[in-house]
Amino acid sequence: MEDDRVADLKILLAGTLVKSEETFDVLNKYSGAKIESLPSMGSREVDLAVKAANNSLSEVGKLTAFRRREILEKVAALMLENQNDLTDTLVSETGMTLHDAKFEVNRASNILKMYATDTFHIQGEALTLDADARGSGRHGYSFRVPVGVVGAISAFNNPLVLLAHKLGPAFAAGNAIIFKPASLTPLAALKVGQMFIDAGLPQEALSVLTGKGELLGPLLAGNSTVRVITFTGGKRAGAEVAKAAGVKRLLMELGSNCPNIVCPDADLDFAAKNLVSAAYSFQGQNCLHAQRILVQESVYEQFKSVFIGFASKLKKGDPRAPSTDIGPMITEGAAKRVEEWVNEAKKMGANLLLGGNRSRQFFEPTLLENVSLEAKVSCEEVFGPVSLLIKFSNLREAVRASNDTDYGLQAGIFTHRLDDAVYAMRTLRFGTVMINESSDFRVDMMPFGGFRGSGLGREGIKNAIEAMTELKMSVFNLNALENTAN
């Protein structure tokens, strides 16, 4: 039985409808019903999209900052006008709960509004060139120009937020863009892509490529006329994209296994409530997921009891039901992988405190302790509803354990002591350190990105726009004008 909730869907390839002999099905993650069959694109479609994007640059270049702002604001408004439809689509194709899907639409709309505002803040500076003897009589000005064509590759877990953080800065800066949504969750992205065209973006300036990421990602990254690649996904896929990209700018967010430290002076109820949400929202399929929770030994047992109390109240079921907290994982294969990792940890001596069971695509909120550092759930990104409790004696020990990872996206610490907060802020080797917030906290204008294996560059309003522009310099020799005048 097909799911009929997605209707009048258009595939965007430079404004034209696409047909393909090879297709793939997008499934309802709860019922398993087919929602839609989409074209599985390949090298021909990538070439067409890149050619169209380059052809559009002169037209896109004529769009003033005022007009680009208008387009982004119009798309943001269209998203809210179609909030029920987009929410419904997200619940179907991702399995996220009704509450999370509504939040996703509102957040993505707000992100586009912020990028719209920043079209007015793409600025350079005047330089004092006569600070050097050779600069006498010269005035220098720097300014930012679009890179041209941006290639964007997205993950499945936040289809609209990730789209907004890629299309938003690309268009705010005056670029054309080719967007590759995750094949598991492309439908809401296709609908919002059409909204960009409806809002007035030149049709050739946007293509949305559907199909296999392992094929389309390297093809898009490897095209020499695509000047920036912005990628969100796993380390292995990111490495393949980076290898194909060659010499061009890369923005890469590659996940993490975020640590959160609970100090003995922390408000344990507050910390536990925040960390339960950070551990199990959207089934833990989140790069900011609270995977490692380090608790000082004097409050360890108390915190454990409080955390389990909150987590035990989470309700599993149909993500469309308003009372549901835990929906299905993105695929049954993903749930099986998490099950294998939990079983491996148990075989290596871990204690199972909560959950640990799988039913089809559902995996219970799970809590482990005494986990070996060699277990995958400890040293890799689990990307599922599994968290670890780790006991520590002093803060320096907790920071060392937190830093013992190949990742470095975000970390959190719960404490009322200013000296401990400052110590953690300075010594935790992560892109962002949260004080009395979980690692899952993010406000979208923040610079967002990580150290080490968590990626390259930074998203966030100002940072992403700068990454999608080139800094250009101009020098005026006023001596020549004076000579002419004389």
Q: Average pLDDT of 241-251? A: 93
Write the DSSP assignment of 82-146 as a string of letters.
THHHHHHHHHHHH---HHHHHHHHHHHHHHHHHHHHGGGG---EEE-GGGSGGGTTEEEEEEEEE
Establish whether 380 is a catalytic residue: no
Contact 152, 166 (CB under 8 A): yes
- 54/39 Cα distance (integer angstroms): 23
pLDDT over 60 at 485, yes or no = no
Per-residue pLDDT of 416-435, as tens digits, reads 999 999 999 999 999 999 99
pLDDT-derived band at 11 (thresholds 50, 70, 90) equals low
Percent of residues, the chain, with pLDDT higher than 90: 91
Establish whether 21 is a catalytic residue: no
- 91/237 Cα distance (integer angstroms): 26
**What's the CATH code, domain 23-254+455-472?**
3.40.605.10
433: β partners: 411
Report the pLDDT value the prediction gives residue 123, as an integer from 0 to 100. Answer: 87
Catalytic residue among 36, 93, 263, 287: 287
Supply angle C-alpha 303, 307, 309, rounded to 5. Answer: 120
Burial (0-12, 13-18, 19+ Cβ within 10 Å), 85: middle
Q: Which fold, 259-435?
A: Aldehyde Dehydrogenase; Chain A, domain 2 (3.40.309)
Write the DSSP assignment of 418-469 as a string of letters.
HHHHHHHHHH--SSEEEESS-TT---TTS-B--SGGGEES-BSHHHHHHHTE
Q: How far is CA 345 from CA 331, 379, 409, 461, in A?
A: 22, 11, 24, 40
**Of 5, 204, 195, residue with least CA distance to 105:** 195
Two tokens, residue 433 = 């350190």
* First-to-last C-alpha distance (Å) of the chain: 85
Q: What is the DSSP letter of 386?
A: E
pTM over the 0.85 mark:
yes
Q: What is the DSSP letter of 167?
A: H
pLDDT over 90 at 479, yes or no = no
- 8/91 Cα distance (integer angstroms): 18
Catalytic residue among 45, 73, 240, 253: 253
- What's the mean pLDDT when you consider all of the chain? 94
Kindly provide the b/e burial profile for residues 276-307, where b requires at least 16 CB atoms within 10 angstroms of the residue's own CB.
bbbbbbbbbbbbbbbbbbbbbeebbeebbebb
Residue matched to tokens 């296994």: 257
Question: What one-letter code names the amino acid at 89?
Answer: T
- 102/122 Cα distance (integer angstroms): 31
**All structural domains of the chain with their residue ranges:** 23-254+455-472, 259-435
Per-residue pLDDT of 98-120, as tens digits, reads 999 999 999 999 999 999 999 98
- Contacts with 78 (C-beta within 8 Å, 6 or more apart), sequence order: 195, 198, 199
pLDDT over 50 at 66, yes or no = yes
Given strand 410-414, what is the order of strands in its sheet? Answer: 351-354, 366-369, 386-392, 292-296, 259-262, 410-414, 432-435
- 102/345 Cα distance (integer angstroms): 35
Report the pLDDT value the prediction gives residue 8, as an integer from 0 to 100. Answer: 43
Report the pLDDT value the prediction gives residue 21, as an integer from 0 to 100. Answer: 76
